[in-house]
């Protein structure tokens, strides 16, 4: 392998953005749908971990990683529906239920996942999109997982659907004004439950990416808060699916800065570089927030806005 030197940093950031962003992307798209309908599901971290576990377990048991992805989605769907149904009860706070679900999901995943820590499950294949380059580093950075591409497609489709389809408009109306939705004859609780379920499905798929592709094995320390960060990312992306995609790339790339700088010999201040994703978030939050107005694009029915 040839020397790369300083070029290693941008390549690592690019590779990191492609590799690390997918779980962020799926969880934030799922949360975007949920929040557009007027609910917050903080439990996506638990769903992510549960998805990672069930995806790995199913892939190991059936030998087919794609079945694992589906199973992870199904597990996420069930947990998402659970959140949605519980929140339909009168005077239930969605944030509190979300925190409960987060603990429940991770706990359940750890409990059921014990037997799957040791075995090696078949993982998802990668698509080599870097064949045009002679550099093995670029080739490695551009090894793209199909889920990443599906995620991009989903982001585009969602942002189109929210604007142009009947279904998208109903979700937005339910999220912006439940009175208007009721007056139009739509069942608000049912819509929200469905949206939370779909959000859970996507978060579960995001979890399966962690265990089935990158880093590619199930262990209890697998998620270092990706699910929680993705929820924050939705606010950061102003409830816009395309922005969710950019934000996910940014987070993925920022996470790669710390290790990449150290491997080219920039060795001081690594704790600071490791904090890069959080610093980036804080910086943008401060730059875009104003005490004089509410966040642009925030669904009106979100409990944090009411």
Partner 1 sequence: MSDPIGRREVLKRLGVAGALGALAPYGPRSAQAADKLVVGVIYVGPRDDYGYNQAQAQAAAAMKKLPGVSVVEQEKVPETTDVQKTMGSMIEQDGATLLFPTSYGYFDPHMLKMAEKYPKVRFAHCGGLWTDGKHPKNTGSYFGYIDECQYLNGIVAGHTSKSKKLGFIAAKPIPQVLRNINAFTLGARSVDSKITTLLVITGDWALPVKEAEAANSLVDQGVDVLTCHVDSPKVVVETAERRGISVCGYHANQSALAPKGYLTGAEWNWVTPYTIHIQDAIAGKPMVNFMRGGLKEGFVRASGYGKAVVEGARKNADTVKAQMLKGEYVIFKGPLRDNTGKTVIASGTAFKQTEPLLEQMNYLTEGVIGKV
Interface with partner 1 by CB under 8 A: which residues?
1-4, 8, 11-12, 15-16, 19-20, 110, 114, 117-118, 120, 137, 140-141, 210, 214-217, 219-222, 224, 226, 255-256, 258-260, 262-265, 267-268, 270-271, 274
Strands 143-144 and 127-128: what pairing?
antiparallel
Q: Given the complex with partner 1, which of 115 and 185 has the nearer CB atom?
A: 115
**Contact of 239 with 35, CB cutoff 8 Å:** yes
Identify which of residues 191 and 256 has a Cβ nearer to partner 1 in the complex: 256
CA distance 79 to 252: 26
CB of 302 vs partner 1, minimal distance in Å: 29
Q: What are the CA-CA distances from residue 262 to residues 61, 62, 122, 257 (Å)?
A: 39, 40, 31, 9
Q: What is the nearest approach in angstroms of partner 1 to the Cβ of residue 259?
A: 4
How would you class 50 by CB atoms within 10 Å of its CB: exposed for 0-12, middle for 13-18, buried for 19 or more? buried
CB of 187 to partner 1, least distance (A): 40
Nearest to 49 by CA among 197, 255, 206, 196: 206
Minimum CB separation of residue 116 from partner 1 in Å reads 10
Distance CA 93, CA 117 (A): 35
Taking the least distance from each CB to partner 1, the nearer of 95 and 126 is 126
Cβ within 8 Å of residue 44, ≥6 positions away: 27, 30, 31, 98, 102, 199, 200, 203, 227, 228, 230, 231
- Relative orientation angle of helices 166-176 and 188-212, to the nearest 10 degrees: 110
Q: Which residue, 22 or 159, is less far from partner 1 as judged by CB? A: 22
Return the number of the residue (20 or 75) whose C-beta is nearest partner 1.
20
- CB-nearer residue toward partner 1: 85 or 264: 264
The smaller minimum CB distance to partner 1, of residues 46 and 80, is found at 46
Residue 208 is given by DSSP the state H
What does DSSP assign to residue 134?
S
Considering the complex, state which of residue 2 and residue 290 has its C-beta at the smaller distance from partner 1. 2
To partner 1, the closest distance from the beta carbon of 222 in angstroms equals 6
Are 31 and 203 in contact by the 8 Å Cβ rule? The answer is yes
| Residue among 2, 7, 27, 304 nearest 147 (CA) | 27
Residue in 12, 1, 2 with CA at minimum distance from that of residue 264 = 12
């Amino acid at each position: 392998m040839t020397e790369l030197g300083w070029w290693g940093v941008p390549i690592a950031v690019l590779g990191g953005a492609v590799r690390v962003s997918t779980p962020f992307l799926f969880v934030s798209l799922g949360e975007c749908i949920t929040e557009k309908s007027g609910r917050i599901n903080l439990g996506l971290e638990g769903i992510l971990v549960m998805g990672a576990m069930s995806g790995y377990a199913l892939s190991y048991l059936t030998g087919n990683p794609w079945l694992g992805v589906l199973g992870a989605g199904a597990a996420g769907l069930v947990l998402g529906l659970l959140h949605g149904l519980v929140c339909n009860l009168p005077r239930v706070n969605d944030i509190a239920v979300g925190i409960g679900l987060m603990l429940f999901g991770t706990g359940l995943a750890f409990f059921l996942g014990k037997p799957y820590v040791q075995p090696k499950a078949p993982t998802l294949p990668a698509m080599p999109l870097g064949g045009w380059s002679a550099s093995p580093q670029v080739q490695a950075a551009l090894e793209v997982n199909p889920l990443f591409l599906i995620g991009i497609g989903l982001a585009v489709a969602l942002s189109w659907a929210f604007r142009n389809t009947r279904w998208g408009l109903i979700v937005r109306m339910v999220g912006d004004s439940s009175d208007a939705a009721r007056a139009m004859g739509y069942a608000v609780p049912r819509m929200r439950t469905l949206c939370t379920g779909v959000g859970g499905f996507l978060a579960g798929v995001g979890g399966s990416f962690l265990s089935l592709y990158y880093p590619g094995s199930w262990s209890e320390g697998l998620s270092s808060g990706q699910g929680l960060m993705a929820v924050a990312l939705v606010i950061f992306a102003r409830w816009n699916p395309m922005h969710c995609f950019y934000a996910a790339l940014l987070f993925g790339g920022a996470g790669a800065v710390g290790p990449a700088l150290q491997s080219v010999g920039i060795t001081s201040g690594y704790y600071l570089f490791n904090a890069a994703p959080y610093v980036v978030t804080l910086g943008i939050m401060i730059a875009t927030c104003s005490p004089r107005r509410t966040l642009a694009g925030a669904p009106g029915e979100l409990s944090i806005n009411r």
